[in-house]
Structure 1
């Protein structure tokens, strides 16, 4: 019980610090960031409506005479109400609406691809580690090469070969916008289009990520197989498959589970480069657009969602880790 209380306290404090930093960032800009933002917005042809003024007040503080503490409390109040402001890039759309539209695409593509790469890497790494010293070890150099491949390079190669040269897959988009000009819909045809358009982006993530999981699991498997309890299990005459799964793999996978928690948290951020190459409408592309356009409201909202998702994923994986390995709870 003490372990869980300490972990909950730690993550609550971390969340408070992250939100506070998110509040302070626009105020730490040189000059008068509020007036600079308003001038830029007007130059772009925007209309300073009450809704937009509220969005600006959320970013930089509404009342110039209000203390920083009052602005801070107001910021927390609006966040708790789900008000993250209005985007200057996609004016007059609220930031919450933009994030809500982009988040399912990122979770569906990047999340599923990350889970697939983790499973393939863990299973493959456990098998290679169990068969250490045989021809199977030749997989290691290939996995190291895969781990070293940059996302953007692999994405461009896949597009060049399978989209441009062979024409097997589309180059951009999450679905066929010409067949579904009214937007997403619940139909098998639409699901098929999403899977078809998401194949190359998913392959980019899986190929780039599976090598790291495989190599890490293989090394942990080799280390675990030298432990006394594994040697004792083999001496008792237990079936090799039981030794490999119950005694070796179960213990070797623990560090990978901890690493998977961190990776799963960053799923929400998506792969910024991958989504940019394929023009995929996920959160990563939305974040890049906000940075390029100096859209502070959208930038802050995206950072906030990413921060919360990373903390939530790590907290969940710590709970799972503590359940799998009781020693963690005792040491916590």
Structure 2
């Protein structure tokens, strides 16, 4: 009975905290979006650094995302992370870098993080993380139309950043909440009048591995993201893994976008690709309207078997 309540209490706490964060972040119905990507289930460290403790190996991860192929100034994102285990104290440390570009806007953020886990039962852990760094935001509005006084003032800001994360996990599941970016500006929404409006990001994430047979595993996952002053975005994905090597899956989000996901996990390397397109009449389109996403991961140290979670 004690073990049962030990498991239930952290889950209730995380879900309650998530509902509070999402409710707070959705209080104003502005049309803004947090940073979202389809391969989130395998690249969560920049969203919640507490996730880094799920793997006893070190890892280097790179993810690139580009929307509207062939269109100048289209949104692009580059995500990089490095995680190093500190096994003696059941902790990890590392860095992550995020760069977002949209038209004349460019934002780069660099954070260092530290995460520590405590063992709740034989196979369940609760990890917490803190990250800190700087973010640089540049908007070259004057390049749009130098003759228009509305766009005469460029914006350049460098601000400190701090965030935290909490994750409850076991051998084949995780559930977590995080606020990795406090007072973070979202690309594509700034203006001269809103140049000082900095908003915070909130995330809820969860996934688990279900063994179908000796050769096939299935991983459902979800990522809920909310930006202060915006509606929350819900992502739902499912991936089938064949012999822990080949992955085939899909992701759908409440922006009415669907993505197919493929991955290959060989030795210490994992390569992933996703192709996202709209499913409603106002965002459905051809190749140029799609979003392409490529990821590459390398694990080192105590790698053991291929990492699925």
TM-score above 0.5: no
Larger RCO of the pair (alpha carbons < 8 Å, separation 6+): 1
Q: Determine which structure has the larger strand proportion and give its number.
A: 2
* Shorter-chain TM-score range: under 0.3
Per the normalisation by structure 1, the TM-score is: 0.23
Which structure: larger Rg? 1
Per the normalisation by structure 2, the TM-score is: 0.24
